[in-house]
């Protein structure tokens, strides 16, 4: 009987020892690792066209991976194409006009101006001779010349001399050539037309919507035939790199962590495949615990936002997915790799 009591007592002592050892080991493990709960966060981009036109093509679907620079959608460009053709034709006309001004007066035009001067000179000489002849007749022979004939001859002489002077000025202008101001004006008008053409070509390039970064198509918001505008997004892209888990830490644990510390992230769908990460951002401002945080603390307590950046080559993490973060606290060393900055 005594032997049974001794064995029972020994069993109790052993059991208590095992439980105490397990408890102490568990407490040490808990003290060495900080466990946080949060959700996966990913940046997003909303893409829209700069112009207002009908959508002609939509080339990708939801869930597709796209590369930076990849064409995603196109607008109807028929109107812009016609406007560009019109602008190019106008530039060609202005280029020829400027070239004509720079080359100056052609030799044939100068020769024509000289011929007109000679013709006007002949007319002026004849008018002067006619007027002088009438005056000589009146003085030499004493014959009476009507005043009207003298006035007509005098008027023809003045007209002929004025036309001669006009032809001489025209010849002088032909020899001098175009004014520098006219050439500068033509050059400025050409530059204006070239700028308008460049603007139209820029608008044509904006008719193609490309991806600014490697990402995944999250939403396709328009379809061919819809009217696009800068206020209407066409696609919503999820940027898969970087990814991070947004968690919250209490003020008690805030002093135990620092940026660059290593971490492991697990999710319910892959609990046995932890994802390596690192602490990348710790908020300097306290806030009330968000409703989405899964903790056992009172929801009115103050916490600090924490971001754990992860390397997810298997693409297991999705936006909003709940995740558990384990941060070892013994060495506090960060794994290889730079910590992303905000």
* Residues 310 and 321 reside in one and the same domain: yes
Q: What confidence category does residue 18 fall into, taking pLDDT thresholds of 50, 70 and 90? A: very low
- The parent domain of residue 212 ranges over 44-76+207-238
| Domain-located, residue 129 | yes
- What are 126-143's pLDDT values in tens digits? 888 887 877 777 666 666
| Domain-located, residue 255 | yes
Is it the case that residue 19 has pLDDT exceeding 60? no
| DSSP code for 62 | T
Of 146, 175, 201, which closes a domain?
A: 201
| DSSP code for 105 | S
Output 237 or 13, whichever has higher pLDDT: 237
| Domain-located, residue 7 | no
Q: Which residues pair with residue 227 across a beta bridge?
A: 54
Output 164 or 145, whichever has higher pLDDT: 164
| Domain-located, residue 105 | yes
- What are 66-89's pLDDT values in tens digits? 999 999 999 999 999 999 999 999
Q: What confidence category does residue 122 fall into, taking pLDDT thresholds of 50, 70 and 90? A: confident
Domain count, the chain: 3
Of all residues in the chain, what percent carry a pLDDT higher than 90? Answer: 32
């Amino acid at each position: 009987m005594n032997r049974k009591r001794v064995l029972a007592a020994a069993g109790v002592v052993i059991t208590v020892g095992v439980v105490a050892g397990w408890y102490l080991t568990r407490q040490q493990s808990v003290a060495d690792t900080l466990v946080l709960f949060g959700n996966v966060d990913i940046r997003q981009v909303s893409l829209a066209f700069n112009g207002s036109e009908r959508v002609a093509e939509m080339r990708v679907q939801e869930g597709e991976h796209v590369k930076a620079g990849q064409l995603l959608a196109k607008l109807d460009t028929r109107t812009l194409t016609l406007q560009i053709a019109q602008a190019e034709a106008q530039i060609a006309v202005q280029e020829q006009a400027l070239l004509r001004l720079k080359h100056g007066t052609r030799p044939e035009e100068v020769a024509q101006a000289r011929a007109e001067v000679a013709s006007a000179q002949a007319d002026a000489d004849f008018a002067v001779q006619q007027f002088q002849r009438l005056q000589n007749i009146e003085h030499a022979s004493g014959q009476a010349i009507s005043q009207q004939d003298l006035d007509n001859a005098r008027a023809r002489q003045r007209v002929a001399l004025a036309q001669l002077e006009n032809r001489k000025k025209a010849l002088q202008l032909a020899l001098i050539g175009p004014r520098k101001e006219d050439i500068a004006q033509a050059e400025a008008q050409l530059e204006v037309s070239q700028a308008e053409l460049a603007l139209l070509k820029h608008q044509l390039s904006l008719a193609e919507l490309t991806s600014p970064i490697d990402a995944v198509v999250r939403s396709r918001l328009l379809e061919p035939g819809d009217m696009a505008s800068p206020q209407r997004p066409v696609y919503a892209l999820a940027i898969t790199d970087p990814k991070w888990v947004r968690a919250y830490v209490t003020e008690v644990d805030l002093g135990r962590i620092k940026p660059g510390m290593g971490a492991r992230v697990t999710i319910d769908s892959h609990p046995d495949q932890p994802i390596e990460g690192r602490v990348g951002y710790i908020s300097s401002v306290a806030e009330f615990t968000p409703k989405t945080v899964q903790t056992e603390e009172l929801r009115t307590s103050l916490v600090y936002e924490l971001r754990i950046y992860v390397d997810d080559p298997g693409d297991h993490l999705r936006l909003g997915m709940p995740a558990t973060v384990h941060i070892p606290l013994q060495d506090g060393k960060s794994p290889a790799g730079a910590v992303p900055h905000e």
